[in-house]
């Protein structure tokens, strides 16, 4: 059960998402959310038992086929539609059962960006953006709101278009005005439906970098519905909807870090990067306090463990004798899974530890895939001969 000889990880920063998840309340919590369109015989269900938890500071990209329910779920989160079945709490407010006035107050903390620009043709870019501030920050003076609006237009690359009306702007420029309007009041939640679809690469990058700063500096939650593969790199998580149901919820950045850590584990040296990525996505991550026993000597082996952060101590015998200390990037638990024998030591946390674990079935599946790959390579080489 003792670890193989591997390089200890020193290049990984602590996961802000995990620390946020351990310390703060979710900004979005959906439980068994269903939604329907129509009534009577024409009633059609479009969302099916969706569960979702999102924390402050996370950037979520929601993707999936057209008609899969992405925009419907987005509008439920923004309280633009009522919750038919299930529970949905956003920014600490339960949206199921809320009154009309409560929903109006709630929406003041949300920034909406939709494909349809919905700009007022008779107003300049500055005036369109300023309208958002007049609704959400009524105590500001007009001069203050005008100044803030122009600064936001500058941030989206329209500093030289502040006095232009929509008919004087291109489609991409109109979209950036709409984005500025949705972000100008520093909302705690941003809901964006295809925000970069009409933008060129440089303008799109400017917008997503602005969203990244809001998530990092203001702990704003960003939810983006998109088919734009150019911006996938900003996502903390990618959620995939298919036929009205969340089918996949991948913690992208954390999975990338764990994949790199797994690649340094000798037990996975013959496993392909694709398989390692799948393994990382299947791992469970939990925070354990100091002094917590993780496994017990002589118990059957049921999981593989990778230390994400913190330290553990390995002990054997009666009375127990310390035989090793393991740190971030090191692993344990593989011997019992590989041999089928009971655990040959006990393991305890020394300090607060983030621990990734993998089920026996997933571990063995990865081992089988590496064996199959080696066999295929040998057979292919033999055929070439």
Q: Are residues 170 and 40 in the same domain?
A: yes
Q: Are residues 351 and 218 in the same domain?
A: no
CA distance linking residue 207 with residue 180, whole number of Å: 9
Q: Are residues 156 and 249 in the same domain?
A: yes
Q: Are residues 87 and 25 in the same domain?
A: yes
Q: Are residues 283 and 243 in the same domain?
A: no
> 97: which residues sit within 8 A by CB, 6+ positions away?
none
Q: Are residues 286 and 249 in the same domain?
A: no
Position 6 in a domain: no
Condensed to tens digits (0 to 9), the pLDDT of residues 352-384 reads 999 999 999 999 988 887 655 555 545 554 554
Mean pLDDT on 45-70: 92
pLDDT at 75 over 60: yes
Q: Are residues 231 and 283 in the same domain?
A: no
Return the minimum-mean-pLDDT range out of 2-16, 94-108, 282-296. Answer: 2-16
Condensed to tens digits (0 to 9), the pLDDT of residues 162-219 reads 999 999 999 999 999 999 999 999 999 999 999 998 888 999 999 999 999 999 999 9
Domain coverage including residue 163: 16-253
Q: Are residues 233 and 128 in the same domain?
A: yes
Two tokens at 204? 């799109």
- Taking residue 269's Cβ as centre, other Cβ atoms within 10 Å add up to 11
CA distance linking residue 384 with residue 381, whole number of Å: 5
Residue 247: band (very low, low, confident or very high) from pLDDT cuts 50, 70, 90: confident
Q: Are residues 132 and 22 in the same domain?
A: yes
> 20: which residues sit within 8 A by CB, 6+ positions away?
55, 56, 57, 58, 219
Half-sphere exposure of residue 30: CA atoms within 13 angstroms, side-chain side:
23
CA distance linking residue 318 with residue 297, whole number of Å: 10
Half-sphere exposure of residue 25: CA atoms within 13 angstroms, side-chain side:
7
Write down the pLDDT at residue 375.
56
Write down the pLDDT at residue 91.
94
Mean pLDDT on 40-48: 92
Q: What is the CATH number of the domain that holds 282?
A: 2.60.120.10
Write down the pLDDT at residue 252.
74
- Taking residue 179's Cβ as centre, other Cβ atoms within 10 Å add up to 29
pTM: predicted TM-score of the whole model, two decimal places? 0.69
Q: Are residues 279 and 130 in the same domain?
A: no
Position 263 in a domain: no
Position 310 in a domain: yes
Position 1 in a domain: no
Residue 177 burial by Cβ neighbours in a 10 Å radius (0-12, 13-18, 19+): buried
Mean pLDDT on 289-310: 95
Q: How many domains does the chain have?
A: 2
CA angle at residue 34 from 100 to 64, to 5 degrees?
Answer: 110
Two tokens at 268? 């996975």
Position 373 in a domain: yes
Position 160 in a domain: yes
């Amino acid at each position: 059960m003792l670890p193989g000889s591997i390089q200890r990880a020193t290049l990984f920063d602590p996961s802000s998402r995990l620390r946020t998840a351990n310390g703060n309340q979710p900004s979005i919590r959906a439980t068994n959310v269903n939604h329907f369109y129509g009534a009577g015989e024409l009633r059609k269900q479009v969302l099916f038992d969706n569960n979702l938890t999102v924390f402050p500071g996370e950037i979520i990209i929601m993707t999936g086929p057209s008609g899969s329910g992405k925009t419907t779920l987005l509008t439920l989160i923004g309280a633009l539609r009522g919750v038919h079945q299930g529970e949905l709490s956003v920014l600490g407010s339960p949206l199921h059962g809320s009154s009309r006035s409560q929903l109006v107050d709630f929406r003041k903390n949300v920034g909406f960006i939709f494909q349809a620009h919905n700009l007022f043709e008779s107003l300049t870019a500055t005036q369109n953006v300023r309208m958002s501030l007049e609704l959400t920050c009524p105590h500001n003076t007009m001069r203050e709101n005008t100044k803030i609006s122009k600064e936001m237009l500058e941030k989206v690359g329209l500093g030289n278009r502040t006095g232009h009306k929509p008919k004087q702007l291109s489609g991409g420029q109109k979209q950036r005005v709409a984005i500025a309007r949705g972000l100008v009041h520093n909302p705690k939640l941003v809901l964006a439906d295809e925000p970069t679809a009409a933008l060129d690469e440089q303008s799109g990058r400017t917008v997503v970098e602005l969203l990244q700063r809001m998530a990092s500096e203001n702990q704003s939650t960003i939810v983006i519905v998109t088919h734009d593969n150019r911006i996938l790199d900003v996502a903390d998580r990618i959620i995939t909807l298919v036929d009205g149901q969340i089918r996949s919820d991948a913690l992208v950045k954390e999975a990338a870090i764990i994949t790199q850590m797994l690649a340094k584990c000798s037990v996975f040296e013959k496993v392909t990067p694709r398989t390692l990525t799948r393994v990382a996505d299947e791992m469970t991550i939990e925070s354990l306090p100091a002094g917590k026993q993780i496994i017990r000597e002589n118990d059957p082996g049921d999981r593989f463990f990778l230390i994400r952060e913190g330290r553990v101590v390995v002990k054997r015998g009666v009375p127990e004798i310390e035989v090793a200390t393991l740190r971030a990037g090191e692993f344990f638990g593989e011997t019992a899974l590989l041999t089928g024998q009971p655990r040959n030591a006990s393991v305890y946390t020394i300090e607060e530890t983030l621990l990734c674990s993998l089920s026996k079935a997933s571990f063995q599946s990865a081992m089988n895939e590496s064996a199959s790959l080696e066999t295929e390579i040998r057979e292919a080489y033999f055929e070439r001969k």
